[in-house]
Chain A
Amino acid sequence: MAIHSVGYAIPVTWFLTVGAMLFCIGLFGMMVRRSAIGMLLSIELLLNAANINLVAFGSYLKIPVIAGQIFTVFVITLAAAEAAVGLAIVINIYRNEQHIDADKISAMKL
């Protein structure tokens, strides 16, 4: 791997570990949360795990590249749009069903 940590107080693996932990928490949340809002929050965690990775890689590479940060800016913007769309869909569900429990929403049977 073209990654070094000379000159930095914190090695890159620490950032990656935080990212991986966030990712696992997000995935776990997606699986166990029943409220649609809880799942939305978990999705945000997943996205931010990737953001931490991108920024950490971008600044710790042998030749630091700006692309990681550019990518992250795009992701943050998209995450905001995604949250807006997701909340709109959840509000619509609430108007129809009076609850947002994802497990109980099954007008169609499998």
Chain B
Amino acid sequence: MQIGNLIFILPALCMSVAAIIVLLLGVVASKRPHKGLDYFFPAQYAAPVFTAIVTGIAGWLAWTELAAIKAGAFTEQAVGLFVVNGHAQLTVDPFAAILSFIAFAGTLVVMFLSQDHFGEDMLHKAEYYSLLMFASVAASLAAAASDLIAIYLCIEFLSLTSYILAAFSKTDRRSAEAGLKYFLYGAACSAVMLYGMSILFGITGGNTALSAIAIGFKGELANSAAGWVAIMFVLVGLGFKLALVPFHFWAPDTYEGAPTPVTAFLSVVSKAAGLAVIVRFLTVVANPASPASSMWYWMLIVLTAVTMFYGNMVAIWQTNIKRMLAYSSIAQVGYLMIGVLTAMSSQVVPVDSFSAALRNNNKGAWDLPGVLIYMFAYLLMNLGAFAVVVVVGKRLKSEAIDSYSGLMKCAPFLASALAVFLISLAGIPPTAGFLGKLFIFGGAIMTGMDRHPELIVLAALGIINSVISAYYYLNVVRVMYFGFSGEGEAPAEPVRGTFAMNTVIAVMLFLTLAMIIFARPVSDMASSAVYSGLK
């Protein structure tokens, strides 16, 4: 083990310490509520302060890694932690560093949302905020996990904290139900994933590192029934985290029942972690360069198409805005998966590590940079939409889309912000969502022109789905601006967010709109994170 390498997981380490501090502060403060410590430094302010610092560290780390790549000084020795025989448990490459930054930044926003949603007098607030912090640690480590043990531990760590968060409103029946459903599906899926991992471990000769498994998992073995079962089972667990279609049953109920900030967390941070793991797993172990893997490649293509259609088609009929966003986020994962599949299909020879996969890849390709850009755009627009839902839901005590009727009159800022976020989710220019979709669909078409016609079909389906999704996103905008033809009436008194919430929404709004202006630096950053410099 190299101590110096610990600097690569410095954000996660700092966050763990901060989470423990918040937990202890809460215990001390709860002795004398509203006095002393609870008055001067309560958990709901301590947690965002610590998280902001950690987000800064994570951003600095990602920035230095990108700078090292630009200078050509980034070597593979510098990557990874606890390196044994060249196989690391965690590989903190720029891809992981950026996703970990996304996870911490997302958690920071979720904390502001929680402050507004739960208010000052929340029960067990120290526990709540420290659980959020621990969950972000898990997401940040999952982004770097490149070993079966590390992947399983990070995914389970994230899941366990998320189960508690989903069930956090103890007296709310819907929250309890959300927690139970999430727990039962999640525990079963991760147990299936573990069983798949145990087979993968056995048939590749007792290796747990993904890079070592990739070396052993070739030819005959990849064609065998055991290999097939192993990959399928692992994909079940990862598909659950992403809510891909056959494993999405938990998503609508959990998203609707869980407290809204937790829903926001699950839809962004938890998915970023799942995405990072699936990218690593698919490009290295389930590499389509091995002949048999075309089976799961094709299966994933079908699942991606079904995921997009299912999410969008069902979202049309929703009357609860949280449930609508839940289905829309299922569809959004479909778009992200197009990018992942493009990256997967670019592999023409088997590789033994993620960085090797990247080296083989076409330098100008848009697939993985597209995934990073879209993930960041998704963070902005989805958390922005949830921020407005939190503010409006708290003031109007309703999550029905009807209750947004006439919101433009009583809350022009919130209504226009939500309109922009929804337009961005639909992928209409000039928003961040458009930029992300441009890269993902463009990347799929570029690779597809070469030798993969199925990717062009997938991109076309993605564009059709964007059009379908525009229908229900813009329906909310219509209700807000022109009122609802039914019984819905404009709320009597104006809806106002707190200063903190308005600032958060304004920042997200600015970034959603500004990302297209900074398209060049953003795309440069994303592509250097994924391609050049790795020697």
In the complex, A39 Cα to B179 Cα: how many Å? 14
Partner of A54, one of B180, B181, B201: B201
Number of A-B contacts (CB under 8 A): 136
Q: How far is the CA of A95 from the CA of B94 in the complex (A)?
A: 47
State the Cβ distance, B323 to closest chain A Cβ, in Å: 8
Which residue of chain B is the closest to A54 with respect to CB atoms?
B198
Q: Is the CB of A50 within 8 A of B198?
A: yes
Q: Mark B160-194, 1 if CB is under 8 A from A, else 0.
A: 10011001001101101101110110011001101
| Whole-angstrom distance between the Cβ of A97 and the nearest chain B Cβ | 7
Write out, one digit per residue, whether chain B residues 241-267 have a CB within 8 A of any chain A CB (1) or not (0). 000000000001100110000000000
Residues of B within 8 A of A27 (CB): 192
Using Cβ atoms and an 8 Å threshold, which residues of chain B touch A1?
Answer: 202-203, 221, 226
The residue on A at minimum CB distance from B164 is A85
Known A-B contacts A82-B187, A85-B160, A97-B173; A108 and B257 likewise in contact (beta carbons under 8 Å): yes
A57 touches B201 (CB 8 A): yes
Chain A interface, DSSP helix/strand/loop, else mixed:
helix
Do A85 and B194 touch across chains, with their CB atoms under 8 A apart?
A: no
| Cα A90 to Cα B183 with chains together (Å) | 10
Chain A residues closer than 8 Å to B199, beta-carbon distance:
53
A25 sits at the interface (CB 8 A): no
Asked if A105 is an interface residue, CB under 8 A from chain B, the answer is yes
Asked if B156 is an interface residue, CB under 8 A from chain A, the answer is yes
Partner of A105 from the list B177, B202, B207, B252 (CB cut-off 8 Å) is B177
Q: Which of B160, B176, B203 contacts A92 (CB 8 A)?
A: B176
| Interface residues as binary, A74-110 with B (CB distance below 8 Å gives 1, 0 otherwise) | 1100100110011011101101110000100111101
Q: Which listed residue, A50, A92, A97, touches B167 by the CB 8 Å rule? A: A92
Contacts A53-B199, A61-B206: A102 and B184 contacting too (C-beta < 8 A)? Answer: yes
Which partner residue on chain B sits nearest A55 by CB separation? B198
Name A2's contact: one of B177, B184, B205, B253 (CB within 8 Å). Answer: B205
A residues at B contact (CB < 8 Å): 1-3, 16, 19, 23, 26-27, 30, 36, 39-40, 42-43, 46-47, 49-51, 53-54, 56-58, 61-65, 67-68, 70-71, 74-75, 78, 81-82, 85-86, 88-90, 92-93, 95-97, 102, 105-108, 110
Q: Which 6 A-B pairs have the closest CB atoms?
A: A57-B202, A46-B191, A53-B198, A65-B206, A2-B205, A50-B194
